[in-house]
Amino acid sequence: MKYKEIENREALRKALEARGTLRHYAFQAIDFRPFIEDARKCFFSDCIFLGGSGVEEIEDRIDETCMIIPRFKSLPFRVFRSGLYNAATLYEGYVPGCPESYKDCYDSRVYGHYLETGKQTGDIRETLARILHDHSINDGLDDFLASFDEKSVVGVMGGHGLSRLDENYRKVVEISRRLTESGSIMVSGGGPGAMEATHLGAWMAGRNDEELEEAFDILSSAPSYKDELWLDSAFKVMERFPFPEYVSLGVPTWLYGHEPATPFATHIAKYFDNSTREDTILTIAKGGVIYSPGSAGTMQEIFQDAVQNHYLSFGYASPMVFLDSKFWTEEMPVYSLMQHLVRKGKYNNLLLSLSDSTDEIVRIVEDFK
């Protein structure tokens, strides 16, 4: 039986109103202390308590079929989250106009802890905390995606080093803006470069070309994520154009924590485990994946995506669209290789396309959807 998830005070209050025995509930990071009197009027059977407070005060009301996982103390990250991150939670502690404050924000503190304890650590407490954190992110991601058609989720892959001044950056922004306006949910690895362009496009969806040019102008003061004002300039755009009409999903990882996560993503599923993160992006992007120029990481994603499509792992193949013909046929001739392997019968079911045209790429994705 599916557990009913309780993730906030109002949901807890309503659940406790039932009195009697509560079965098949999952209480995620819930503080029972303001509700102890009501909670003691209930019995709990086959329930899950994840990292809450005050549970010890009702343990005599909890039977042996329940699972209790206590809070992890003295960690810079919250193990049991009730939802995804966003710019406000990930950059909590960052002061716009004061770039040096980045080292004190939540994201940076967690990354520092990650490095200090080891990217691959033998500390069982640390590994368990990371796994449970990523489980919470999976749960939040499922909740987020539940209200969207699976073919509406479209991925963009590409290099983190893509300059904000590059023509391909602008193309990714425009593709993302138009697809978002037509009902797609854009997803990327949530970092800088082509990933940021994806979420800038979604953020500016519904706005006119003059406003988009103004956003480009603000961002041009810090073209690379290595520039001191990269994050500040993004927040300036968000301040100038607040309250986006549409949403987008960034999926970054602390494995690449030296690359700041783009704040333009309205929902951020940040993982410790990069393999989970990579597989997650390609799995949920059932509306297709657009590949802008990239290097080793993008190559890995192309072939991982090809495997899923070849085997029809999720019942059907999705488009693999390559942006920048010269790059994918000459500089990094992966597209030519993929075509060759399809002709030889080494790959089946691949829906390959190559284009320099934003209009054509938008049409390919929309036709599939």
Whether residues 55 and 91 share a domain: the answer is no
Q: Which residues contact 347 (CB under 8 A, 6 or more apart)?
A: 306, 310, 338, 341
Tens of pLDDT, residue by residue over 93-143, are 999 999 999 999 999 999 999 999 999 999 999 999 999 999 999 999 999
Mean pLDDT score, 142-171: 97
> Domain tally for the chain?
3
Strand partners, 355: 323
Q: Residue 124 CB: number of other CB atoms within 10 A? A: 8
The gap between the terminal CA atoms of the chain, to the nearest Å, is 33
Tens of pLDDT, residue by residue over 180-235, are 999 999 999 999 999 999 999 999 999 999 999 999 999 999 999 999 999 999 99
* pTM of the model as a whole: 0.95
| Secondary structure of 205-223 as H, E, C letters | CCCCHHHHHHHHHHHCCCC
Residue 187 has what pLDDT?
Answer: 98
Tokens of 247: 């949403």
Which sign, positive or negative, has the C-alpha torsion 144, 145, 148, 151?
Answer: positive
C-alpha separations of 259 from 168, 172, 179 in Å: 20, 19, 26
Whether residues 257 and 323 share a domain: the answer is yes
**Domain residues for 30?**
4-69
Whether residues 45 and 63 share a domain: the answer is yes
Whether residues 263 and 218 share a domain: the answer is yes
Task: Report how far residue 211's alpha carbon sits from residue 226's, in angstroms, rounded to the nearest whole number.
Answer: 25
| Residue 27, helix vs strand vs coil | strand
Mean pLDDT score, 67-96: 94
Task: Report how far residue 271's alpha carbon sits from residue 276's, in angstroms, rounded to the nearest whole number.
Answer: 8
**CA proximity to 86, closest of 261, 205, 218, 226:** 261
Strand partners, 95: 98
Whether residues 316 and 362 share a domain: the answer is yes
Residue 155 has what pLDDT?
Answer: 98
Whether residues 92 and 133 share a domain: the answer is yes
